[in-house]
Amino acid sequence: MHVRFLSDGNEYRSYGGGSLSKKKEGGGIFWWSILITLLMGAATFCWFFSIMVFSHPEKPFNYKVLAKFNKLTPLRPYTIYTAPGGKSLQPRDLLSEFFPYTVEQMSVRNDLYKRSYLKNYQHDQPTYIMGSYQVLSARELTDADVFTSGWIVRARAAELEDVDIEVIMPGLTSKESPYKKGDTFKLEKRTYASTLHVQRMDGDRLCVTVVPLAYQTISTKGAEVVSLEPPLALNMEAYWPITRDPGAVVAEVTADAPEVVAVKN
């Protein structure tokens, strides 16, 4: 004999005042779903953010984040035997290469140059600068510069006055620059002067910032080799190019007066 009791629904009521326990369970699932969705969104954002930071170390903010957490890739101390291969450009090649560039295209190319340098050219080959140049100025680097220690030399192409270069010599502790104003020097293949930045100046002139990847340079005497060191960290918030534009001048050096005379065009 089976006995069935009619239920008035009391077993579904809470002790506190009549709300259904099933409704309580449904509300909890709803808020848990929102929380899980927010956590998934935060995890996705962090994932994409970390990819952007590691993929674009040339950006000042990204570089500071990587430096703060000691995640910067150490710059490799290349030699003349281990420096990566790449194309070489003479002063006239530089003008033909970069003259058609728009401002946006130049900005993208400069970012690529810096990114490749900071990543030790893992995916891209460097662009080397060659040719003969005459020194316009030389000074020590400071904490306000991109490279905070060493020397920098501003020079003008001997065959083409529309092209300037600034050669960075990081880690050079000498109190005297190996190059003097009016000296001439030649960038050869073994110098491995890699391009870091290209700036269009007034009068459709160019200024190219280079650093010797072999971390050595030849003095004007032609025999003395100056040893350099790759920097441990850079000041990516500093201004490019590093030196000031001396203007459209021609460097003239005479035997009697070995000075650079600035003659306006």
User: In which domain, by residue range, is 186 found?
Assistant: 87-264
CA angle 105, 106, 109 (to 5 degrees): 85
Please indicate, yes or no, if residue 56 is contained in any of the structural domains.
no
Quickly count: other Cβ atoms within 10 Å of residue 152's Cβ.
25
Grade residue 230 by pLDDT with cuts at 50, 70 and 90: very high
- Structural tokens at position 87: 């194309």
Please give the tally of structural domains in the chain: 1
Comparing 220 with 238, the larger pLDDT belongs to 238
pLDDT digits (tens, 9 = 90+) for 178-198: 888 999 999 998 889 999 999
Please indicate, yes or no, if residue 182 is contained in any of the structural domains.
yes
Q: Which residues of 247-264 are buried (b: 16+ CB within 10 A; e: fewer)?
A: ebeebeeeeeeeebeeee
pTM assigned to the model: 0.78
Please indicate, yes or no, if residue 180 is contained in any of the structural domains.
yes
Please indicate, yes or no, if residue 93 is contained in any of the structural domains.
yes
CA dist 228 and 216 (Å) reads 5
Please indicate, yes or no, if residue 140 is contained in any of the structural domains.
yes
Please indicate, yes or no, if residue 58 is contained in any of the structural domains.
no
Please indicate, yes or no, if residue 178 is contained in any of the structural domains.
yes
| Preceding amide of 57 cis, omega within 30 | no
